[in-house]
Structure 1
Amino acid sequence: MELLDYSHNNGLVLASLFVALIAGFTGLSLTKGLSERSVPHRKILVALASLALGGGIWSMHFVAMLGLQMPILFYYDAAITLASALVAILVVGIALLILHFWKRTRATLVLSGVIVGLGVLAMHYIGMAGLELCRALYTPTGVTLAILSSCALNIAAFSIAYGQRTDRNIILGTVVFGVAVFTVHFIALWGTNFIPVETATEVGPLIGNDVMAIGVVLSSFVLCGAFLLTGITFLTPQTTAPAPTADPEPIVPEQPALTPRATQIPYEQDGHTRFVDTADVALIRAEGHYTHLYTAGEKLFCVWSITEAEKRLIPGAFIKTHRSYLVNPAFVSSFERLKDNGVCYFRIASVEKAPVSRSRLPIVREALGI
């Protein structure tokens, strides 16, 4: 049995790492703050993130395969190659559904990492099965090492990115995810040998490296476009009123508590600091390092952080329904219990509703007398 010698094009190797990194950032950024969005919106963003992460895994693999240099011509079976892409997208989608529709615990983080880790390998080996005029031979050591490294690295990536949804963790998770996909590919190749095959056993039409290069360039172009769009959103400071997120509060310098507690809240308007009575404020919502105050007819900008507002206000005047919301019970018109959280609705036009996180449900229900 003649084993083929092979080498790699270093430029394409580096390009494959770049593709994995931009795919990881795009997918992990798209899913930031989903818990406060509607279920249909959440499903759409999970689907888009699945396309970004799964398509990125596939693109990284075939960018690296374009750099695989062997002494014979070889082709790809189009049907099997397409199947490998669909498997990657489907598996990542399952992991993201678990993370965003189940209670997020250490166990679900590990489960999602294992699912994606096995999915990366499934995509790799299905893609390798699509090779024509040469066949891949695997060693037990190589397969075992690929499985262990893929699961471990992807568990680490998802634990970092989803353990605490801060910008820093998303970037660190992106790096670990990109390195995971890249490393697993070459660990699997390290445990692989190739032999020439005289006849093709094609399931679908054969495609050569030239056609494959066009497909990979197109998929990478789409990923780069999505990367730029998510990157702009990710880096833009939230100075207006973006959709609320379930991300942890930003760390702000500690402020000394006032004694006695405040019965008025300061807000900025027309270059002046003005004050509004707490009894006139229906809702306080976090906006980065600051907050917005909602009264019966206005939305006001306040320099307090949500943490500072909670410290300064009279106990009982507001209830914390969510890490980003303080609610005045006097303005609540109705309460809706959802599957694992809830929603407070208001009787004023300036604000429609406020989310109630699962951990705050008993406190909110007690404060509302229900």
Structure 2
Amino acid sequence: MEYLDANHDTFLVIMSCVVALVAGFTGLSLTRDLSQKPIVQRQISVALASVALGGGIWSMHFVAMLGLELPILFYYDAAITLVSALTAIIVVGAALVLLHFVERTPLVITAAGSIVGIGILGMHYIGMAGLQLCRAIYTVPGVILSSLVAVALCIMAFWVAYGRRENRTIFLGTLCFAVAVCSVHFLAMAGTRFEQVPSFAEFGPTMSNEFLALGVIFTSFILFGTFLWVSVTYLLKPADPAPSDDRSTAPVLEPLEATQRGAPGVFEPQSLQIPCERDGARVFVSPQEVAFVRADGHYTQIYTEQDRLFCAWPITEATKRLMNTGFLQTHRSYLVNPTKVFRFERSKDKGRCIFACADLPPAPVSRGKLKGIQDALGAQLGAFRES
């Protein structure tokens, strides 16, 4: 079998790497400080970041493919090319949803990096399947090496960018992401041979390199424009909020030292305010108003007798702050204010806390915490019934 001689245009290879850098920086910057933003704004930012990262992966691939030089004319299937772009965007979106709407554990970061690595591979090979009048022939070592590199480098990129969210780590994560995308493409291409085929495969409309170049220029124009817009945000410093007596803008006070507190279940007034959101506005709730706290992905839901509010604290942060104010952890995902508990029920190896307010759902008690919670609530519930 005689393979076609393949070369690459050096300028377009360099430009493809620049596109990967711009995409990585734009996407990772769009997800910066999301925990401090309303949920709708987080959803929009994650969607935009998915398009930036996924679209950047696609643009990088096809900028490099525009630089592919073969001794024959070749074309692309427009439908398959579109599918390759959608694959990259959807897969990256799934990874970002994990990172920003699920508790960000080491396993979640690793899973997100693996998903993006697989997405880069999928986008590459789907895009290559769109070639017309020539066919890509892959070698086993090339596929294996590019697959391992894709997953390993993407995991490293997300660990760097999300292990600790700082400007410095976002820049380093951008570099790792660009290296991952470029390495996967060129390692895969190094293990790829091309052979001529006599006819078009009739799957979708056919487009030439010139038409593809217009699409790549358009997407790159949008990507670079977004890159410039995002870059400006690093130069702007948020204005200091004006002082106000309104509770919705009051600062969050740090909890008092445990030695300054009373017995469990007794709260010191003004010791801590929990930042929450109601109808898109920031409000602060004191712990004594809260019945229980429930983990909600990377965030928490705050239940009072009147409301259920969103809180940007992860359950780990809520535990660290509220356990000192007398809250009890009944489950890995639940913190309960014992002063709001009306009754404790136990069924075999499980339990639940029932609240005086009928509108509140019960809070589960895990098997490992049954005895401790029962003992902690015993004296208080007995005193409640006697009163």
Corresponding position of 1:93: 93
The one-letter amino acid paired with 2:199 is T
Shift of the 169–335 alpha-carbon distance from structure 1 to 2, 3 Å rule, reads farther
> Rg bigger for which structure?
2
Return the alpha-carbon distance in structure 2 between the equivalents of residues 344 and 233 of structure 1: 35
Which of residues 245, 252, 256 in structure 2 aligns to 1:295? 245
Q: Which runs of 5+ in 2 are unaligned?
A: 262-267, 276-281, 328-336, 341-387
1:318 equivalenced with 2:271 (yes/no):
yes
The one-letter amino acid paired with 1:138 is Y
Shift of the 51–336 alpha-carbon distance from structure 1 to 2, 3 Å rule, reads farther
1:19 equivalenced with 2:19 (yes/no):
yes
Indicate the percent of aligned positions where both proteins have the same amino acid: 46
CA contact (8 A) 2:301 2:310 kept: no
Q: How do 1:1-370 and structure 2 match up within 5 A?
A: 1-241=1-241, 294-296=244-246, 318-319=271-272, 321=274, 329=286, 337=293, 339-340=295-296, 341-343=300-302, 355-362=312-319, 363-364=321-322, 366=326, 370=340
Shift of the 297–98 alpha-carbon distance from structure 1 to 2, 3 Å rule, reads closer
Return the alpha-carbon distance in structure 1 between the equivalents of residues 291 and 74 of structure 2: 63
Shift of the 189–295 alpha-carbon distance from structure 1 to 2, 3 Å rule, reads same
Return the alpha-carbon distance in structure 1 between the equivalents of residues 183 and 100 of structure 2: 27
Shift of the 355–95 alpha-carbon distance from structure 1 to 2, 3 Å rule, reads closer
CA contact (8 A) 2:295 2:314 kept: no
The one-letter amino acid paired with 1:188 is A
The one-letter amino acid paired with 1:134 is C
Return the alpha-carbon distance in structure 2 between the equivalents of residues 310 and 22 of structure 1: 45
CA contact (8 A) 1:76 1:130 kept: yes
Return the alpha-carbon distance in structure 1 between the equivalents of residues 317 and 157 of structure 2: 29
Shift of the 170–232 alpha-carbon distance from structure 1 to 2, 3 Å rule, reads same
Shifted more, 358-367 versus 111-120: the winner is 358-367
CA contact (8 A) 1:344 1:355 kept: no
Return the alpha-carbon distance in structure 2 between the equivalents of residues 10 and 110 of structure 1: 34
Shift of 1:2: 1.5
Return the alpha-carbon distance in structure 2 between the equivalents of residues 354 and 99 of structure 1: 17
Shift of the 318–212 alpha-carbon distance from structure 1 to 2, 3 Å rule, reads same
Shift of 1:167: 0.7
SS at match of 1:95: helix
Shift of the 159–44 alpha-carbon distance from structure 1 to 2, 3 Å rule, reads same
CA contact (8 A) 2:253 2:272 kept: no
Shift of 1:100: 1.0
Return the alpha-carbon distance in structure 2 between the equivalents of residues 180 and 12 of structure 1: 18
CA contact (8 A) 2:253 2:271 kept: no
The one-letter amino acid paired with 1:173 is G
The one-letter amino acid paired with 2:28 is L
Q: Which runs of 5+ in 1 are unaligned?
A: 242-291, 346-351
Q: Deviations along 1:146-171, whole A, 9 cap, x unmatched?
A: 00000000000011101111111111
SS at match of 1:239: coil
CA contact (8 A) 1:21 1:177 kept: yes
Shift of 1:37: 2.7
SS at match of 1:235: coil
Return the alpha-carbon distance in structure 1 between the equivalents of residues 8 and 101 of structure 2: 41
Return the alpha-carbon distance in structure 1 between the equivalents of residues 200 and 95 of structure 2: 35
SS at match of 1:200: coil
Return the alpha-carbon distance in structure 1 between the equivalents of residues 8 and 109 of structure 2: 34
Q: Deviations along 1:190-229, whole A, 9 cap, x unmatched?
A: 0000001111113111101100000000000000111111
Q: Deviations along 1:119-142, whole A, 9 cap, x unmatched?
A: 101000000000000000000000
CA contact (8 A) 2:132 2:201 kept: yes
SS at match of 2:25: helix
CA contact (8 A) 2:103 2:314 kept: no
SS at match of 2:234: helix
Q: RMSD across aligned C-alpha pairs, in angstroms?
A: 3.2
How many residue pairs match? The answer is 306
CA contact (8 A) 1:321 1:357 kept: no
